[in-house]
A and B are shown apart, each in its own frame.
Chain A
């Protein structure tokens, strides 16, 4: 009898404690999103911002129940700034640190993300797309969802070696934005792999700004007569370069880095004056559907219907951040941000990674379309 009463008391204590725990207020996890928006194209920036904010809301909604059962609630905030003022990434990061952010989701551009990491060295952060070499050396607290530049550049070089006519000179010329960190990294890694594959670099042209003077560039290209032109730059300057080069050298073939944009965002897609230009570019993200298949809330979205709402890979990356963060929180159950940092250090690289490898996109008749990923997705 006494034994039975003891068991009843024990069970009451156990279930009572569980019930009490369920009644407790969930721990709020402050998640800060910091992103640069280029003010040069207001419409595109506005659309991007809307999709960005929509993805945050969707990620929170789809992870809310799972987190609630673990006793957590993600409290996201978003800060946007002009892309021409990268130091704001650091200032926003410092501010977020002071305001007690558990984790920061950083900007896509590598140099912006590096500045952010310097502003919040002890707060875990994840970039949606940063891919420069320096990003991979920041340590276990600062990660990126994009594959490293070296991997993307190697994939691009290998694809170029396959596509280039073996009877051609196999020569190429790089046109690289001198003020773009990841662009320079990409070109450097591409050269290494291309050389090993028998491609010959005829020359490299360094440019500054979004609309460089094309006359000397065209003259130099005409002198080299390359089999293809490597353009590892951002979207605005790439569209400007392709347009001008296509006009002067209609048969030029273009190879890009992770900056041309996709069919929904960017300035290369549907630019009228690039006509029948041919080429391909590599990116850190596959097609929207292929990306969504790789994580649980992505699968949920696909089950509900076509994922037409999302056009940018940033939005998919945001959803993936929510998914991974929910998993981290439920697995490690940190009681405070310090414990969260420890958990992040331990499993961050595994949770916040790009499972799809590098993706290749074709440029045909002004359209950028997904072709394949290096991991066969």
Chain B
């Protein structure tokens, strides 16, 4: 679990670095584009407004011309008001300023004055030299910076970001993830090295495969070294006890005592040697899983019974509250009992002998959750808990014990995964020690063989 958190954090950092940074830049770019477009629109609006007023001035000048010609009507002022409404103008008036459009006189012109455009056009068909003046205020700059423009400014950048994301995913998958997967498969000899690969890549795959082989050899060499060392220690103590018996052949009383010591040494060390050999063999070979619907409760009880004497000797209580209940789960009772027994034994071994008499000395086995899909089994102890730097636990040579061979948890993991399940390690909240949780699928039917 600790490893998953670490990878999640790394992934989050990657997302932050690769997307939030560019995202912030994109937002800033959007804002710059937004302001720039707004400003350009504002600049263009002057020309547009002048052009609009030019068209309106033609209509207004012609209409005013008719009213000036028919001066006796007295309709000029109402008509100007009407034009103001119809042409949606801010102001409209007849002016006779000779300097309105400069000299020589032009038919039309416009001026920008105090945030307003004033458009002048000479009134046709009259000899009064009158101009019609149309006024319209310019919209302020801020009115061009609206939500609509903001959306238009952001959409291309947003699309670029999304496109970038999609391309990145495609690129990573095609040029990084898939080649690496192929390389790993080839290096682990799960597949052949493709012929179309470049020679350099073939060479890398071959080197990796050799490296993996060498690593495997090294692991087994290390295992063999530990196993040989343990066996030699046991054999040495048996040899010493045998030699001591031999020394006192004439002293029947002494000889009897030493034979008793030899017997104890044999009784203690020979099962351990047997177990070390079995574990070593299990670690190096396939573990066949013959799954069928069996009572998980019975399997757990079997594992507890296998450790009962050891627990009693150390004064450790093994707690299993669902004893006698029927929990049908497809599993191989022989192999799963081995896995459970191993976890229980680890728990017993983890509880120190010199712990205070009042302290809880317990290994607890419980079924955490049963639903239609999964059964979870938890084995926890009151020991000191798992060291922080021991990951990955379920690999060879990783041991929770000072003198462990590092095969017990590895084999336990193999058995659980052989059932289609999973196993995780953590800290026990109730007992304060280690906590191992494994899950078994309820619908796992086939026989499994796990190759690690």
Which residues of A are interface residues toward B (Cβ below 8 A)?
84-88, 90-91, 111, 114-115, 118, 134, 177-181, 184, 206, 208-209
Question: Residue on A with the closest CB to B123?
Answer: A87
Give the residues in chain A near B86, CB-CB below 8 Å.
209
Report if A178-B75 is in contact (Cβ < 8 Å); known contacts: A208-B81, A208-B82: yes
Cross-chain pairs A/B with CB under 8 angstroms, 24 sampled:
A84-B59, A84-B63, A85-B59, A85-B62, A86-B66, A87-B66, A87-B124, A87-B125, A90-B66, A90-B69, A90-B125, A91-B125, A111-B66, A111-B73, A114-B70, A118-B69, A134-B70, A134-B72, A178-B75, A179-B78, A181-B70, A184-B75, A206-B78, A209-B82
Give the residues in chain A near B70, CB-CB below 8 Å.
111, 114-115, 134, 181
Given contacts A84-B63, A177-B78, A178-B81, 11 further A-B contacts (CB under 8 A): A84-B59, A85-B59, A85-B62, A88-B62, A90-B69, A111-B70, A114-B70, A134-B73, A178-B77, A181-B70, A208-B81
Give the residues in chain B near A209, CB-CB below 8 Å.
82, 85-86
B79 in contact (CB, < 8 A): yes
Give the residues in chain B near A91, CB-CB below 8 Å.
125
Give the residues in chain B near A208, CB-CB below 8 Å.
78-79, 81-82, 85
B65 in contact (CB, < 8 A): yes
Contact: B63 with A85, CB < 8 Å? yes
Give the distance to chain B from A119, nearest Cβ to Cβ, in Å.
Answer: 9
- In the assembled complex, the Cα of A208 lies from the Cα of B65 at a distance in Å of 18
- In the assembled complex, the Cα of A168 lies from the Cα of B120 at a distance in Å of 54
Give the residues in chain A near B125, CB-CB below 8 Å.
87, 90-91
Q: Mark B63-107, 1 if CB is under 8 A from A, else 0.
A: 101100110110101110110011000000000000000000000
Q: Which of A85, A118, A179, A206 contacts B79 (CB 8 A)?
A: A179
- In the assembled complex, the Cα of A57 lies from the Cα of B63 at a distance in Å of 32
Report if A87-B73 is in contact (Cβ < 8 Å); known contacts: A179-B79, A208-B81: no
Give the distance to chain B from A75, nearest Cβ to Cβ, in Å.
Answer: 28
- In the assembled complex, the Cα of A180 lies from the Cα of B75 at a distance in Å of 7
Contact: B75 with A181, CB < 8 Å? yes
- In the assembled complex, the Cα of A90 lies from the Cα of B69 at a distance in Å of 10
Label chain B's interface by main secondary structure: helix
- In the assembled complex, the Cα of A71 lies from the Cα of B436 at a distance in Å of 126
Contact: B59 with A181, CB < 8 Å? no
Question: Residue on A with the closest CB to B74?
Answer: A184
- In the assembled complex, the Cα of A206 lies from the Cα of B79 at a distance in Å of 12
Give the residues in chain B near A118, CB-CB below 8 Å.
69
Contact: A115 with B73, CB < 8 Å? no
Give the residues in chain A near B79, CB-CB below 8 Å.
179, 208
Give the residues in chain A near B62, CB-CB below 8 Å.
85, 87-88
Report if A115-B69 is in contact (Cβ < 8 Å); known contacts: A179-B79, A181-B75, A208-B78: yes
Give the residues in chain B near A111, CB-CB below 8 Å.
66, 70, 73, 75
Contact: B69 with A179, CB < 8 Å? no
Question: Residue on B with the closest CB to A89?
Answer: B66
Interface centre among B59, B62, B73, B77 (most CB of A within 10 A): B73
Give the distance to chain B from A320, nearest Cβ to Cβ, in Å.
Answer: 27
Give the distance to chain A from B73, nearest Cβ to Cβ, in Å.
Answer: 5
Give the distance to chain B from A90, nearest Cβ to Cβ, in Å.
Answer: 6
Q: Mark B121-155, 1 if CB is under 8 A from A, else 0.
A: 00011000000000000000000000000000000
Give the residues in chain A near B72, CB-CB below 8 Å.
134
- In the assembled complex, the Cα of A231 lies from the Cα of B290 at a distance in Å of 106
- In the assembled complex, the Cα of A88 lies from the Cα of B77 at a distance in Å of 20
Give the residues in chain B near A87, CB-CB below 8 Å.
62-63, 65-66, 69, 124-125
Give the distance to chain B from A319, nearest Cβ to Cβ, in Å.
Answer: 29
Question: Residue on B with the closest CB to A137?
Answer: B72
- In the assembled complex, the Cα of A168 lies from the Cα of B86 at a distance in Å of 40
Question: Residue on A with the closest CB to B77?
Answer: A178
- In the assembled complex, the Cα of A255 lies from the Cα of B30 at a distance in Å of 64
Chain B, 395-427, CB within 8 A of any chain A CB: none
Question: Residue on A with the closest CB to B78?
Answer: A178
Question: Residue on A with the closest CB to B62?
Answer: A87
Top 6 A-B pairs, shortest CB-CB distance: A178-B78, A86-B66, A87-B66, A179-B78, A208-B82, A87-B62
Give the distance to chain A from B206, nearest Cβ to Cβ, in Å.
Answer: 86
Give the residues in chain A near B78, CB-CB below 8 Å.
177-179, 206, 208
Interface centre among B72, B75, B77, B86 (most CB of A within 10 A): B75
Question: Residue on B with the closest CB to A88?
Answer: B62
- In the assembled complex, the Cα of A76 lies from the Cα of B79 at a distance in Å of 33
Question: Residue on B with the closest CB to A207?
Answer: B78
Contact: B73 with A181, CB < 8 Å? yes
- In the assembled complex, the Cα of A249 lies from the Cα of B16 at a distance in Å of 72
Question: Residue on B with the closest CB to A178?
Answer: B78
Question: Residue on B with the closest CB to A86?
Answer: B66
Give the residues in chain A near B66, CB-CB below 8 Å.
86-87, 90, 111, 115
Give the residues in chain B near A86, CB-CB below 8 Å.
63, 66
Chain B, 353-406, CB within 8 A of any chain A CB: none
Question: Residue on B with the closest CB to A177?
Answer: B78
- In the assembled complex, the Cα of A134 lies from the Cα of B82 at a distance in Å of 23
Question: Residue on B with the closest CB to A211?
Answer: B85
Give the distance to chain B from A115, nearest Cβ to Cβ, in Å.
Answer: 6
Contact: B65 with A179, CB < 8 Å? no
Give the residues in chain A near B124, CB-CB below 8 Å.
87
- In the assembled complex, the Cα of A181 lies from the Cα of B75 at a distance in Å of 7
Give the residues in chain A near B59, CB-CB below 8 Å.
84-85
Give the distance to chain B from A337, nearest Cβ to Cβ, in Å.
Answer: 24
Give the distance to chain A from B79, nearest Cβ to Cβ, in Å.
Answer: 5
Question: Residue on B with the closest CB to A182?
Answer: B73
- In the assembled complex, the Cα of A123 lies from the Cα of B389 at a distance in Å of 115
